[in-house]
Structure 1
Amino acid sequence: MQNLGRTTLATTVVLLGLALASGKAAAAELSGDITFTSDYAFRGISQTEEAPALQGGLTLSAESGFYVSVWGSNVDFLAEGTLELDVMLGWSGAINDDWSTDVGIMRYGYPNAEIDGSNFWEIYGSLSYKDLTFGLAYSDDYYANSGNFIYLYASYSYALTDSISLDMQLGQNEYDDSSASYMDWSVGLSTEVMGAGVSLAYVDTDIDGSYLADSRVILSVSKSF
């Protein structure tokens, strides 16, 4: 799949999403969000040299639970690339009143990066029980041709009050080269202010000797539409 061009991929995913909506405008819903964050930390590692990021996404969802999404952010790493542009195709839905799931395939794209293997695919899946989620992502050729990669994580959101939640996540990053494997975690508070989502999170990893993976506090403000 890595030989597919960005244009071909985007066209294919959009057509699949429209087909899943069964051609009925009433059966599909378009939603989006825009976020400003003081640092874009992906799996605990800064993608912006610890600088702010502006991010946004659009999702077309069908009543059946299938969806297609595009998401983008500015990035700045290894002096290569200034843009991340991702495309997802998946399905999410409720199993019963307490359980839900989300599965799909995702392509991470860096259009102006020159690093070999910077664009890669992942399949992902998660299972949630109320506010507790367990998830897994897998790539057979992760970023920079680093081979097989598995990300296992658990997250939990606890309502402290009617308007404030305590959010926690723990993740394990497993590479073919076990010496590169690491753990990441975050603890934060989230709320809503004047219709916008606001979160303040402490993010850290067990990687030594890299300022991009050191502990930090990240402020994010987002608006959905």
Structure 2
Amino acid sequence: MTLLKKLSVATYSTLFVAMSAASMQSHAVEVSGDVTFVSDYAFRGISQTDEAAALQGGLTLSDESGIYLSVWGSSVDFGGTGTLELDVMLGWSGDIAEGWSADVGIMRYGYPNTEFEGSNFWELYGSVAYKDFSLGLAYSDDYYGNTGNYYYVYAGYSLALTDNLAVDFHVGQNEYSDDSSLSYLDYGVTVSTEVLGLGLSLAYIDTDVKDLYLADSRVVFGVSKSF
């Protein structure tokens, strides 16, 4: 059994309590969330909904220390083998130096009604940001579909055009150590704004994967409401 697989749900919950108990005794816990509709759920450049729309939502508990616990879900469509993704994240984010910030944690990707082996997996993640630039790394020792060791290295840049309009650029390398033929590059650009309290986004997403329609270039529209 791999290291990440040994982290059971009970261990996950115990770890969160141990890390956050002291902080939450003196700091108020904040609750935030969002509900989102997207015209296509593209994860690392590949559609998870057979190019159809998706309804998504998330809830986060956090305190002033930077520790957070998040639950996030989305509708998916894997050709009749699953309709729901439900993820749990435990992490810390905050400033580490002037102009610098970081975000580190562990995440479990879950597909409650997916029947094939290897659909659920763990991933460690971390990123650093300097002003508008970010660089991150995610790692799983047994990635989706039992594909083994997997690394995701990515970079981003956010450009504020106005107080209410931004453009975000993203590029990421999906690296499968156990089968390099599966490795691929994904990239995209997203324009976002806010109108009447709703977040609006328009993204162009693409990969270098050949002969797979789920990884073709696509334009994705999204509308969200935060609370």
Structure-to-structure mapping, 1:35-74, within 5 angstroms: 35-74=36-75
Q: Is the 8 A contact 2:104 2:126 kept in 1?
A: yes
**What does residue 169 of structure 2 align with?**
168
**What does residue 198 of structure 2 align with?**
196
Over 6 Å off, 4+ runs? none
Paired with 2:13 and 2:129, the residues of 1 have a C-alpha distance of 31
Q: Deviations over 1:49-78 (max 9, x none)?
A: 011111011111011111110000010114
Identity, % of aligned pairs?
65
Partner letter of residue 189 of structure 1? V
Paired with 1:11 and 1:90, the residues of 2 have a C-alpha distance of 12
Paired with 2:21 and 2:222, the residues of 1 have a C-alpha distance of 35
Partner letter of residue 203 of structure 2? A
Q: Over aligned residue pairs, what C-alpha RMSD do you find?
A: 1.7
Paired with 1:131 and 1:71, the residues of 2 have a C-alpha distance of 25
Paired with 2:31 and 2:18, the residues of 1 have a C-alpha distance of 15
TM superposition shift of 1:115? 1.3
TM superposition shift of 1:209? 0.6
Cα pair distance change 1:66/1:20, threshold 3 Å: farther
Q: Is the 8 A contact 1:17 1:60 kept in 2?
A: no
Cα pair distance change 1:56/1:16, threshold 3 Å: farther
Cα pair distance change 1:189/1:143, threshold 3 Å: same
TM-score, structure 1 length as denominator? 0.93
Aligned residues: 223
Cα pair distance change 1:144/1:20, threshold 3 Å: farther
Which has the higher mean CA deviation after the structures are superposed, 74-83 or 51-60?
74-83
Paired with 2:81 and 2:8, the residues of 1 have a C-alpha distance of 20
Partner letter of residue 85 of structure 1? L
Partner letter of residue 223 of structure 1? K
TM superposition shift of 1:220? 0.6
**What does residue 224 of structure 2 align with?**
222
TM-score, structure 2 length as denominator? 0.92
Q: Is the 8 A contact 2:156 2:171 kept in 1?
A: yes
**What does residue 2 of structure 1 align with?**
5
